[in-house]
Amino acid sequence: MTTITLSRRGLEAPSSPIRALASLARDTAAKGTNVHYMNIGQPDIATPPGMIKAYQQYDETVLAYAPSDGYVEYREALASKYYSRVVGDQPPVTPDDIVVTVGGSEALLFAMASITDPGDEILVCEPYYTNYYGYAHILGITTAPVTTHASEGYRIDPASVEAAITGKTRGLVLPTPGNPTGVVLSADELAALSDICARHGIFLICDEVYREFIYDQPQGSLATSILSIPGAAEHSIVIDSVSKRYSACGARIGCLVTRNREVRKAALHFGQARLSPPTVDQKAGLAALDTPPEYFHNVVTEYKGRRDTLVSGLNAIGIDVQPPKGAFYLAVPLPVKDADHFAKWLVTDFTVDNETVCVAPLGGFYSTEGLGQNEVRMAYVLDKDVIKRCVKILEAGLKAYSPG
C-alpha cells in the first residue's frame, strides 16, 4: 500500500502559541473549573449596537458573492468616514486604495505575498505577532528578527533595523500599537523607519489594527499611521481590521490599504482567487463606521483601567513590568525557566478556589532560538476584578510550581 505524506511545509507548520493551550483549557473547563482566558485577545466589551442591528436587519433573499475587493459603498465609507481622520495632511485615502479582506489576517497574508517570492525574507521586530511567522512559513520566506528588549521598553532602534537589511530583504513588518509589547511608534519613529525602507527599496507593512487603543494621551487620540507620514505612499501598506476596534472578532472583516497601484493590483488578484470577502459582515462593518465617539472613549478608559490593574497587581507580587502604551497585551517575565511548561501546568493541574488562568507562552513570539522561554503574554481583556483574581492565581501558582 502506497504511503501518502504531507508536504514538509504542512508537517512543519508552526502551531499558534496563542491558541496552543486552548484545547487543554477547554478540557479543564469541561471538568467544571473556571478558566480565565488571558491567552487570546478576545475582548469582552459589547459590540456596538449598530453592528448587531445590521445583522438582525439583513433581509436579502439571496446571500450573494461580494466583489473581490469589497463593496464599493463600504470602501467609500471607509475612505471618507474613517481614513480621513487617519491621514493627517497627506493625500486622502480613496476607495481604490482599499481591498477588503477576510479579517486583518488575510490582509497580512496578501501584503506579504504581494511583495515576496519564495526564498525572500521579511524583517520582524521580536517579540512579534505570531502570524507574521506563520504566514512567512506558508509563503516559503524567512522572518529575519530584530530583537527588542523589555529593559528598553521594547523600543525599535532604526539603526538595528537598517543593519539587518540584506539582499534578500523585501519588507519590514511591524505593528503599532504593538502586539505583544504594547509599543506605540511616534511620527518621528515611523518617519525614520519609512526613510530606511525607501532608501533600501523595501516595503513597510504597518499592522495598525489597535489604532484606537492608546493610553496616557488625550481622549480620542489615534496612534500615528504610516498613511500620515510624508514620502511613504509608494512603499507602505497598512493592515487593518474591525475585530478589536469594534469588539467584533467574529465578523472577519479587515482591509489592506496602500497607495501603491501595483501592490493593490497584486492584492486584488489574491482576493479574486479566494472569490470574495464576507457579504453580511461588510454590511455590519459599514454600520460600525457610525459608532459614536463616546463608545471609544468608554472602551479606552476601561482598557486603561484594566492595564493599570494588571501592571500594579504584577508589581505587587514582585514581577517588574512597565505599563504598555497601547493595544491590550503585556509581555510578562516569570521566575521560571520554561514558561510553556508552567502555562500548561496552570491549566491542567492547578486551581485556586476552582479557578485557573490561561496565558500564552512568549517563546513562539520570537524567531531567535532561546528567547522568550521565561515569558508569557497576558491579554487584559477581562473585567478588573477578574484580572485581580488572575494575578492571585498566578502568584499562588508560582509558589506551588515545581517543574520536576
Instruction: Render pLDDT for 382-404 as a digit per residue (tens, 0 to 9).
Output: 999 999 999 999 999 999 998 86
β partners of residue 124: 145, 173
Q: Locate CATH 3.90.1150.10 in the chain.
A: 8-46+294-400
β partners of residue 360: 377
Is the Cβ–Cβ distance between 221 and 86 less than 8 Å?
no
Angle of helix 103-115 relative to helix 131-139, nearest 10 degrees, comes to 50
Is the Cβ–Cβ distance between 114 and 268 less than 8 Å?
no
Q: Which CATH superfamily is domain 8-46+294-400 in?
A: Aspartate Aminotransferase, domain 1 (3.90.1150.10)
CA distance 57 to 352: 44
Q: Of 226, 221, 246, which is closest to residue 236 (Cα–Cα)? A: 226
pLDDT in tens, 225-235: 999 999 999 99
Is the Cβ–Cβ distance between 182 and 324 less than 8 Å?
yes
CATH architecture for the domain at 50-288: 3-Layer(aba) Sandwich (3.40)
Q: Locate CATH 3.40.640.10 in the chain.
A: 50-288
Does residue 360 have a pLDDT over 90? yes
The three cell numbers of residue 110 are: 496578501
Kindly report the number of other CB atoms within 10 A of residue 169's CB atom: 21
**What's the whole-number average pLDDT of the chain?**
95
* pTM greater than 0.85 (yes/no): yes
Does residue 273 have a pLDDT over 90? yes
pLDDT of residue 49: 97
- CA separation (Å) from 266 to 197, 227, 258, 270? 20, 19, 11, 7
Q: What is the identity of the amino acid at 223?
A: A
pLDDT of residue 20: 73
Does residue 35 have a pLDDT over 70? yes
Q: What is the identity of the amino acid at 130?
A: T
